[in-house]
């Protein structure tokens, strides 16, 4: 018979809500090599480092939602992949104070433009960093893994 903890975990996963996120990245060239930088933004509620993400939209495919959120939350325009890198989970704090488990599909988005004026510019801070540093800054362990795996995908 399954333990109470396993039953609770299974129930939580069944109740998880879907979100879509963008892993915004750019390649910077120096005289010696090309480096990968990824973009993190602060969340509005806790100020922790996150990727731009949001809820499904009726008229948009998942990768299009990720691209839309990248613009609204970070001022980023670029080419988004239709295929996610993977997914991660976290607890989303809602406006009413409760939390809901979320599963987030993460789509790579190669940055073409970073605008200084965008809808949430006054509510968030942007930070360009190496994927290794980004993995240290984010809290979600599955997102940390996706960031490190992303380096290997681009290098390989």
Domain of 82, CATH number, reads 3.90.79.10
Are 19 and 29 in contact by the 8 Å Cβ rule? The answer is no
Q: Following CA atoms 122, 129, 133, 63 in sequence, which dihedral angle do they give, to the nearest 10 degrees?
A: 70
Residue 152: the pLDDT is: 75
Residues 18-72: pLDDT tens digits?
999 999 999 988 778 888 999 999 998 889 999 999 999 999 999 999 999 999 9
Pairing verdict, β 34-42 and 49-50: antiparallel
The pLDDT of residue 3 is above 60:
no
d(CA 47, CA 31): 35
Strand partners, 73: none
- Report the candidate in 102, 98, 115 with the shortest Cα–Cα distance to residue 50: 102
Residue 6: the pLDDT is: 45
Residue 35: the pLDDT is: 87
d(CA 141, CA 34): 27
Q: How many domains does the chain have?
A: 1
| Stated pTM of the model | 0.86
Q: Please give the helix or strand (H or E) that residue 76 lies within, else none.
A: strand 76-80
Largest Cα separation within the chain, whole Å, is 62
Q: Which domain holds residue 144?
A: 4-155
Residue 132: the pLDDT is: 94
Identify the residue with better confidence: 76 or 14: 76
Q: Please give the helix or strand (H or E) that residue 70 lies within, else none.
A: helix 62-74
Identify the residue with better confidence: 6 or 142: 142
Residue 9: the pLDDT is: 44
Residue 10: the pLDDT is: 46
Three-state DSSP string of 19-59: EEEEEEEEEEECCCCEEEEEEEEECCCCCCEECCEECCCCC
């Amino acid at each position: 018979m399954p333990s109470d903890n396993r039953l609770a975990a299974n129930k939580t996963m069944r109740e998880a809500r879907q979100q879509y996120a963008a892993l915004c990245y750019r390649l910077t060239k120096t005289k010696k090599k090309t480096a990968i930088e990824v973009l993190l933004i602060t969340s509005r509620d806790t100020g922790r480092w996150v990727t731009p993400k949001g809820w499904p939209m009726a008229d948009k495919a998942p990768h299009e939602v990720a691209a839309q959120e990248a613009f609204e939350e970070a001022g980023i325009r670029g080419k988004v992949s239709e295929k996610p890198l993977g997914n991660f989970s976290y607890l989303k704090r809602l406006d009413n104070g409760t939390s809901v488990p979320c599963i987030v599909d993460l789509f790579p988005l190669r940055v073409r433009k970073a605008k200084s004026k965008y809808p949430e510019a006054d509510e968030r801070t942007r930070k360009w960093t190496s994927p290794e540093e980004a993995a240290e800054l984010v809290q979600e362990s599955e997102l940390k893994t996706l960031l490190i795996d992303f380096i290997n995908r681009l290098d390989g």
